[in-house]
Structure 1
Amino acid sequence: MDISIIIVNFNSANYTINCIESIYKYTKKVTFEIIVVDNNSSSEDIKALNTFLENKPISFLKSKINLGFGGGNHFGYQFAKGNHYAFINNDAELTENTLLKLLNYSYSDKNAGVMGLHQVNKENERFKYSFRQFIDLKYHLFNQKKPIKYYSKKTNSDLTSPFEVDLVSGAFMFFKKEAYEVSGGFDPNIFLFYEEMDICLRLKKKGYQTIFYPESTFIHYMGKSSSNVKIKNEFTISYLYVIQKNYSYMYYYILRIILLFKYGFKSILKPKKHFSSFKIILKGGNSLVYSMKP
């Protein structure tokens, strides 16, 4: 089988259904399977999915707890049979035969471990971040918040052909099987956010490249799949975890000091927006992954 497509659902069956329908509509000339992982949604949401999936050749896995994005995807991977893995947000939709394009490119580039592509809204307007640099010390110190400008200069190109980046959006990640497995896959300790940075860092250490493929797009209804999750604190908790996990303690310590000054100042100007992040950077916090119970 060419591709295993893994989709995580949490109380958003309508988006999952639309995502699956777009896959069937546009995906041709490849063999694929679809694996849907439900993260302990409501009974009504499960019922809607069961009705839609009835008599379809789709694997439907139901977790007794909410595993989060990374954990849910990694759970689904354990049942995958394809030579490539496409982890697609359930609030995404295909608009062309994207999977065939990515498959062909993957076979042409032996160093490519994972690929991503442009995410657009319903009006076909591109999102600001479909690829970017690692959010590391250099990023904070030199204010590298314009990835298009950064990579245009780095590659000396107009970015219309595939090029290497640090990371791609986690909303659509297309892996070679061996690259995903060698990297260790998504970390279940990350409930939400920064999963793509973590796994792309590990891929790079294993000698694989992260490739941005600009010749295709997908629609992403940003945030719809996580609208019922308390995400504000998780954003900061996940980031600190990824830095501490992948860099030295001294590196983590210096970056944390920089963030304390940065968010301390922001908290003075906009306390409602930034004080919770400052508090987590100062004292730490517990991820939602540890609060989920069956």
Structure 2
Amino acid sequence: MKKYKLLIVTVTYKPDKKELTLFLNSYHRYNDLGDKAKLIIVDNSPQNSWEWRTFIQKYHDIDFISNPSNPGFGTSNNIGFARYESDYVLFINNDVEFIEPLFTSLLKEFDKDTSIGCIGIHQKGGAPSFFLKMTAPEGAKVDEFNQETHFISGAFMLFRSDLFVEIGMFDPNLFMYFEEFDLSERLLLKGYKTVFLDKYHFLHKAGHRTKQNEFAAQKGSDSFCYICKKYELDYKAKNDAYIKRMLKMIIYNLLFLNIKEVLKIRRIICYRKKVIKENFEL
């Protein structure tokens, strides 16, 4: 089996074909490793939900894995990673575009410091490039990356492949959300660094979400409970803050008489309270 210098893995679910096309075209334009790099799409969409066979024919150099069982974001990334051997692996969103050659320069950063396990870079387009951890102390700086108090965005996570395997890859118990925090903590425990390099850029078209995805919110609540138990974190303050945000959203939607959204958020809150009780209060 051929070993690649770099694997690029992205997970899709009923993707916007125009957006995906922009991502793939930008990859072809700025791939400075040529055939030493391999892009793999792991598609979690239900079978026959979109014409991916026709779509993918013009991208014959890209591997496409149909994965309709949809085992979750992390597990699907693990599936893509396992397809080939590689020196490095980049897990990336597909609502992004490359805007400059990155691969050769970023891989050299690992050579400069062998303790680096994961690299994140600057996201243009409004989405945050990194986030405060739940374990961050009060008063921690929001806009200055520190691996002890921050984790990089899951929209772009570049790993040394051997270290990704060493830390156990994505935790399959997390269907979605909190994967970045989990990977960051496991790298730290093994003595490896997560670094943020602001001088490199890509475009992330995340946009501003005004509506809640009920399924995603429920999975997020499940992941929140799992992570709190895994790392023995105090769930109360973070959960209270979450409930307050949801209540504010109810008030906001009531002002615009958006009753459907109000009812959805109420269901999200009820589900959150149920799983909190099941995991911590019984």
- TM-score for the superposition, normalised by structure 2: 0.79
Q: Which runs of 5+ in 1 are unaligned?
A: 155-162, 286-294
Can you list the C-alpha shifts for 1:248-286, whole angstroms capped at 9, x where unaligned?
A: 3xxx3xx2232454455556655559755654554317x
Contact 1:118 1:130 in 2 (8 A): yes
* Equivalent residues in 2 for 1:24-43, closer than 5 Å: 24-29=28-33, 31-41=36-46, 43=48
Tell me the distance in 2 between the aligned counterparts of 1:179 and 1:143. 32
| Equivalent residue letter for 1:147 | V
| Equivalent residue letter for 2:225 | L
Tell me the distance in 2 between the aligned counterparts of 1:269 and 1:55. 45
| Equivalent residue letter for 2:237 | I
Contact 1:260 1:278 in 2 (8 A): no
Tell me the distance in 1 between the aligned counterparts of 2:91 and 2:22. 16
Distance 1:268 1:108, change over 3 A: closer
Contact 2:33 2:103 in 1 (8 A): no
Can you list the C-alpha shifts for 1:64-101, whole angstroms capped at 9, x where unaligned?
A: 31122112111111113220001111111100111222
Distance 1:27 1:260, change over 3 A: closer
Can you list the C-alpha shifts for 1:98-127, whole angstroms capped at 9, x where unaligned?
A: 122211111211111111111112xxxx43
Q: Which has the higher contact order (CA 8 A, sep 6+)?
A: 1
Contact 2:123 2:203 in 1 (8 A): yes
* CA deviation after TM superposition for structure 1 residue 165, in Å: 6.5
Distance 1:64 1:270, change over 3 A: closer
Tell me the distance in 2 between the aligned counterparts of 1:48 and 1:228. 24
Residue 10 of structure 2 aligns with which residue?
A: 7
* CA deviation after TM superposition for structure 1 residue 236, in Å: 2.7
Contact 1:115 1:173 in 2 (8 A): yes
Can you list the C-alpha shifts for 1:223-270, whole angstroms capped at 9, x where unaligned?
A: 79xx9873223223222212211x23xxx3xx2232454455556655
Can you list the C-alpha shifts for 1:184-224, whole angstroms capped at 9, x where unaligned?
A: 11122212211111111111111111110111111112179
Distance 1:165 1:217, change over 3 A: farther
Q: Identity over the aligned pairs, expressed in percent?
A: 26
* CA deviation after TM superposition for structure 1 residue 25, in Å: 0.3
- TM-score for the superposition, normalised by structure 1: 0.76
Tell me the distance in 1 between the aligned counterparts of 2:244 and 2:85. 50
| Equivalent residue letter for 1:216 | Y
**Is the aligned partner of 1:92 residue 2:87?**
no
